[in-house]
Amino acid sequence: MAPVAIGEEVLFDPTRRWVSRASCRTVSSARFFVDGPAFPRIPPSAAQQAGWDLAKKICHHCPVLAECRRDSLGEEYGVWGGLDERERYLIRTRLSQRARRWPAARRLAWGKELLALRDGGNTWTRIRAMTGIGDRLGELLIDEWVTHRALTAQPPAAVVELPLPAPGGMIQPPFPAVPGRRHAWVRRAGRITDAHYRGQTEDGAWISVQLRTGKGNSIQFVRSEDVQIYHPQPVVIVTYIGRPDREQQSQAG
């Protein structure tokens, strides 16, 4: 497998081709794996930290320090790239927050690569060990990539129809011409999102969908005109308590 890159920036090298140039190749691996607590949530003992600090001195003079640090974020044990297992654990716990500030090109590149790894038969445990990215952030990045791919894969139309503005004045994007990975495309706040169908009101005016957001899964009701179901599901009738159109009708009466 070749290194995964965006332009000149390498996201990660799955084969770690830099290993042959690493300083640690001539040092016993025992120097980098110190006995002590095996739970990164727990601060290390003084002896374990002292052992890690000795190993880090070797890392700091390594010609491939940056490459090792980049590709070993998912390693659970030992010292890699000048970071001990607790330091890597703390970085991983903040990764979802940091990823929100990544440029769109970086998020899409990771989503494309994570999809290839997952569809290639790798478990999320294996993917996290390779990349440092866990299933929650990984699935979010994959969804972004799949949506982007669907939106950009639309064939050119012979007649261009401009989307009509929503009541609030926002231009509504067209639905993708190809299916996603779930049940339906949902139009929300000027964006298209892939979603699971959960049900609909008896009159079909509102569709209940499950979406992935930055904080996990979210179940919402969306007007039917803003939902395009590409994988039809058995109809489920659900009650929408407090639906806006009924409240408006009640106030008008």
Q: Are residues 86 and 104 in the same domain?
A: no
Quick: pLDDT tens for 158-177: 544 445 555 555 567 788 88
Q: Are residues 129 and 57 in the same domain?
A: no
Q: Are residues 64 and 19 in the same domain?
A: yes
Residue of 4, 120, 109 whose CA lies nearest to 67:
4
On whether residue 175 sits in a domain, the answer given is no
Q: Are residues 88 and 104 in the same domain?
A: no
At residue 160, the pLDDT reads 47
How far is the C-alpha of 77 from the C-alpha of 214, rounded, in Å? 29
What DSSP designation does 206 have? Answer: E
Neighbours of 112 (CB within 10 A): 18
Query: Of 44, 59, 93, which one is at a domain's C-terminal end?
Result: 93
On whether residue 160 sits in a domain, the answer given is no
Q: Are residues 105 and 136 in the same domain?
A: yes
Report, as an integer, the average pLDDT of 3-17: 85
Greater confidence, 155 or 139?
139
Q: Are residues 53 and 116 in the same domain?
A: no
Least confident stretch, 88-92, 127-131, 195-199, 242-246: 242-246
Classified as helix, coil or strand, 211 is strand
User: Total domain count for the chain?
Assistant: 3
Q: Are residues 238 and 218 in the same domain?
A: yes
Could you give phi then psi for residue 159, rounded to 5 degrees? -120, 125
Least confident stretch, 37-51, 72-86, 138-152, 238-252: 238-252
On whether residue 41 sits in a domain, the answer given is yes
On whether residue 216 sits in a domain, the answer given is yes
Report, as an integer, the average pLDDT of 127-145: 93
On whether residue 32 sits in a domain, the answer given is yes
Q: Are residues 71 and 39 in the same domain?
A: yes
- The domain containing residue 31 runs over which residues? 4-93
On whether residue 170 sits in a domain, the answer given is no
What DSSP designation does 39 have? Answer: -
On whether residue 219 sits in a domain, the answer given is yes
Query: Of 152, 176, 194, which one is at a domain's C-terminal end?
Result: 152
Quick: pLDDT tens for 114-127: 999 998 889 999 99
At residue 81, the pLDDT reads 95
Q: Are residues 76 and 112 in the same domain?
A: no
Report, as an integer, the average pLDDT of 133-162: 78
Q: Are residues 59 and 111 in the same domain?
A: no
On whether residue 162 sits in a domain, the answer given is no
Report, as an integer, the average pLDDT of 97-103: 93
What DSSP designation does 80 have? Answer: B
Least confident stretch, 119-123, 152-156, 179-183, 230-234: 152-156
At how many degrees (to 10) do helices 124-131 and 135-152 cross? 90
Q: Are residues 8 and 79 in the same domain?
A: yes
Report, as an integer, the average pLDDT of 135-149: 92
Query: Of 42, 76, 93, which one is at a domain's C-terminal end?
Result: 93
Q: Are residues 15 and 87 in the same domain?
A: yes
What percent of the chain is helix, strand and coil (3-state, nearest 5)?
40, 20, 40
